[in-house]
Structure 1
Amino acid sequence: MRLVDIESVEPGQVLGRTIFSANGTVLLTTGVQLTVFMISTLKRVGVTMIYIDDPMFRDISIEEVLSESTKGAVIQQMSESFDALRSGKSFNTKAISMTVDALLEDVLKNQNVLVQLSDIRTEDNAIYIHSMNVCMMATLVGVNMGLNMIQLKELAMGALLHDIGKVGAPELQEGRSHHSWRGFEMLKMKREYSLLISHVAFQHHEAVDGSGKPRGIRGDEIHLYAKITAIANIYDNMLTDLSEGKRILPHEAVERLNAMSGTVVDRDVLIEFLRIVSVYPNGISVRLSNRQTGVVVGQHKGLPGRPIVRVIDKAGDEAVGASEVDLAQRTTIFIESVLS
């Protein structure tokens, strides 16, 4: 499969990755043949990129940290929780905890898989997929940093609920309108949750140099869980900003994060974060420094910037063969630009 811009998708092409609805059910399943109506609907709900099934790249797969069943459960639970808050009710803390347990199980089982954020977002499901991705990435970083199971559960809970202050928020005194304040106030009232969980929501917009929100705290005043969640939150937000129609590619997001090191984000945590993400995800089209173009088909753990690229050999407009360039072996060749 190949990642392509929605504007270049044509009727008759086959969807390569399942698209979830806002409540965690399947909107469009892998293998469906796309129609004019489907493509138009995807554009209307805010989809900008999708995976399509391409015969030349049919063998390309994306290793996932989370299973589709876990993803569906997380999205559904977040949807139900946010809907409850919007209607003035409380969310089910036990259900959230059980959902995080399932997510933790997948993360621990697949902790050596590089993160490739391949789930397609719409305007309706974006906040739930964002929460899920931030939780998954933060937990992977926590595993790499040697946190124990109790700490991982606290981190995962806080990361999943880091944006809960954006919905159903109580009225707060003047000066405490930022959603991180609201999230903190909501979560600290949950007696079954550790207070550290509420501090993830409270501090995930703080910066290590003191320039963040809502209190402008700095350095070690910011809890480790919040430092981890902050980086995952910034990274995921940069990859998809549906509100402004901007889309930053993974390698560009990594460059921006590196520029924030030691000022906005914690340098040591960032080092661990960069070990878990794929800079050039499978299915993305690239141009190499030797002027060849191809599609990323494989990854190397520990070398996220040196993937395996499949180059299609053509005679005119017709494909006559393919060869693979392993950038971990071909050290004089680099990815010059991303084409999709």
Structure 2
Amino acid sequence: MKLVDIETVEPGQILGKTIFSSNGTILLSTGVQLTVYMISTLKRIGVTTIYIDNPLYRDISVDEMLSDETKRAVIHQMSEMFETLRSGKTFSSKAIGQTVDELLDDVLRNQNILIHLSDIRTADNAMFLHAMNVCMISSLLGLNMGLNMIQLKELAIGALLHDIGKLNAPEVQEGRMHHAWRGFDLLKNKREYSLLIAHVAFQHHETIDGTGVPRGLKGEEIHIYAKIAAVANIYDNLLFNSGEERILLPHEACERLNAMSGTLLDHEVLTQFMRIVSIYPNGISVKLSNRQTGVVVGQHRGLPGRPIVRIIDKDGDEAVGFKEIDLAQHPTVFIEAVLS
């Protein structure tokens, strides 16, 4: 598979990764041959990049922490929960708990896989994918930071529901303070939940230096669950909702996060995060300092900035072979740029 800009996709190319709808059903399946209509529709619903099945990179896998079944279950459950709340009813704590159990099972099983947020986001599924990603990242961080299973489940539920206060309250209208309070009020009244779950929604916009909202907490006044969720929340937003002219690439988002260490974000949580994130994901095209260009095909846990890069040898326009450069074994070669 190769990650490409939607503007470069041509009819007849094969989709390399499934795209989900807002209710968890499959919008387009892996292996479908893309048509002019499909490409146009993907552009219209806000898709900017997709994975394409390329013969030169067919053996490249994008290791996923969550299975497609778990992703469908999480997205579907979040969609159902929001519809329930919109109708004025209360959501099922048991159903959310069961969904979180499935997610945690995947995280525990695949905890050595580096975080790579590769699911294609559309205007309809963005909120649910964001919640799922914040939950997944927070769970892996909590696991690496020594939380026990009871704590992990509390953290995971809180992270999945961290933006529940946004229901019927768009950010542009009411701001972070209001949705934090609203989320806290919704969750603190769930008798089945620990109050700490509600505090994830309440505190995930607090900052270490006390400049956050809604209460201006600082340092140790902020619960560790909220510190973890804050890193996951900001990282996902930087990749998909940065508020800038373009979304940031993983290595750029990591640079932004590092600049927040000790002021906005907790230093220890960030240190752990940098150990589990894929800075240059498989399938992305890069330019090396030796002037060669290639595609990332492999990762090293603990060395996220030194992946394995495949260089295609060509005779004119025809590929005649390839070689791979393991940047962990070539310290004088580095990634100079990520190519679109």
Pairwise TM-score range, normalised by the shorter structure: over 0.9
Asked if 1:105 is matched to 2:105, the reply is yes
Q: How does 1:1-340 map to 2 (within 5 A)?
A: 1-168=1-168, 178-241=178-241, 246-340=246-340
CA contact (8 A) 2:239 2:248 kept: yes
TM-score, scaled to structure 2: 0.96
Q: Which amino acid aligns with 1:271?
A: T
Taking only aligned residues, the RMSD between alpha carbons, in angstroms, comes to 1.5
Instruction: Describe the SS at the equivalent of 2:276.
Output: coil
- 2 CA distance for matches of 1:161 and 1:225? 13
Give the TM-score normalised by the residue count of structure 1. Answer: 0.96
| Matching residue's letter, 1:112 | N
Q: What is the CA deviation profile of residues 136-192 of structure 1, one whole-angstrom value per residue up to 9, with x for unaligned ones?
A: 0000000100100000000000000000000057xxxx9996201110000001000
SS of 1:178's equivalent? helix
| Superposition deviation, residue 245 in structure 1 | 5.8
3-state SS of 1:279 partner: coil
Structure 1: gaps (5+ residues): none
Where in structure 1 do 4 or more consecutive aligned residues deviate above 2 Å?
174-177, 242-246
Q: Which secondary structure does the structure 1 equivalent of 2:269 belong to?
A: helix
| Unmatched 5+ stretches in structure 2 | none
Q: Is the 8 A contact 1:312 1:323 kept in 2?
A: yes
Aligned to 2:264, the other structure's residue is in SS state coil
CA contact (8 A) 1:286 1:338 kept: yes
For residue 324 of structure 1, give the secondary structure of its aligned residue in structure 2.
Answer: strand
Per-residue CA distance 1:11-59 (angstroms, 9 max, x = gap): 0000000000000010000000000000000011110010000000000
- Report the 3-state secondary structure (helix = DSSP H, G, I; strand = E; otherwise coil) of the residue aligned with 2:262: coil
In structure 2, relative to structure 1, the CA distance for the partners of 1:232 and 1:51 (3 Å cut) is: same
The more displaced of 99-108 and 317-326 is 317-326
Give the Cα separation in 1 of the matches to 2:272 and 2:148.
16
Query: Amino acid of the residue matched to residue 251 of structure 2?
Result: H
Amino acid at match of 1:285: S
Shift of residue 85 of structure 1? 1.4
- The aligned length equals 336
Equivalents in 1 of 2:163, 2:300: separation in Å?
33
C-alpha separation in 1, matches of 2:287 and 2:146: 38
Identity in percent = 73
C-alpha separation between the residues in 1 aligned to 2:308 and 2:242?
Answer: 30
